[in-house]
A and B are shown apart, each in its own frame.
Chain A
Amino acid sequence: GESVGLHLPTLSVQEGDNSIINCAYSNSASDYFIWYKQESGKGPQFIIDIRSNMDKRQGQRVTVLLNKTVKHLSLQIAATQPGDSAVYFCAETQQAGTALIFGKGTTLSVSS
């Protein structure tokens, strides 16, 4: 079978490395997915989104990959910087839905 990236509650990387954060979503009917970054004491900050008719989308230093077959989402951060240290959440919503459903967060720690 196809391997699926495991969700890790914490990820530690060195400055300059590439980071990959994984997320398994719950609802096959979900058609819109978002990655948020949450720094300590702050609200979630939008990073990048992707709709279900796509399997890859790139932003500035970030790439989101969507695998609908195994209901898996990943966030790749290139050249990770200390300012990227935060908790990262994936969120999903259905086409006609209103509520965001958040996955388990991953705490990214970047050391210089």
Chain B
Amino acid sequence: DAGVTQSPTHLIKTRGQQVTLRCSPISGHKSVSWYQQVLGQGPQFIFQYYEKEERGRGNFPDRFSARQFPNYSSELNVNALLLGDSALYLCASSLDSDRGTDTQYFGPGTRLTVL
């Protein structure tokens, strides 16, 4: 069975540019969460979406936005990139966010480098 997939694998952008990252959840999973992992640290929560609605948002600026599509895939957008946005962006899917305790399974991540 396919796990969570993310694209692209790697991305290099310059300051001020915009980026879109994509995620496909495990088949049957309706909830997608996004995390940012800076080198040497644990992942930090950015967003969670369930049934196309935002269910949670972490402490990130408005430059970060996301959406979920009818097929439950998701996109994370980051505008006006800063050097500090360089990180591994992880997508995780879970069956049902309403229960709040469903296991989140992570994809391989997108490595974003901002120059």
Contact = CB atoms under 8 A, between A and B. Distances in A.
Given A32-B101, A51-B101, A98 B55 contact: yes
Nearest to A52: B101
B106 A36 contact: yes
B104 interface: yes
A99 B101 contact: no
Interface string A52-94: 0000000000000000000000000000000000000101011
A43 interface: yes
Given A43-B109, A44-B90, A105-B42, A100 B101 contact: no
A104 to B, nearest CB: 7
Interface in B95-114: 97, 100-101, 103-109
Contacts, number: 62
Contact of A99 (B33, B105, B107, B108): B33
A102 B105 contact: no
Contacts of B33: 98-100
Contact of A43 (B42, B50, B107): B107
Interface string B24-47: 000000010101000001111100
Interface residues of B, number: 26
Given A89-B42, A102-B43, A102-B44, A97 B100 contact: yes
B8 interface: no
A46 B56 CA distance: 22
Given A97-B100, A98-B100, A43 B90 contact: yes
Given A32-B100, A44-B106, 4 more contacts: A34-B103, A45-B106, A93-B101, A96-B100
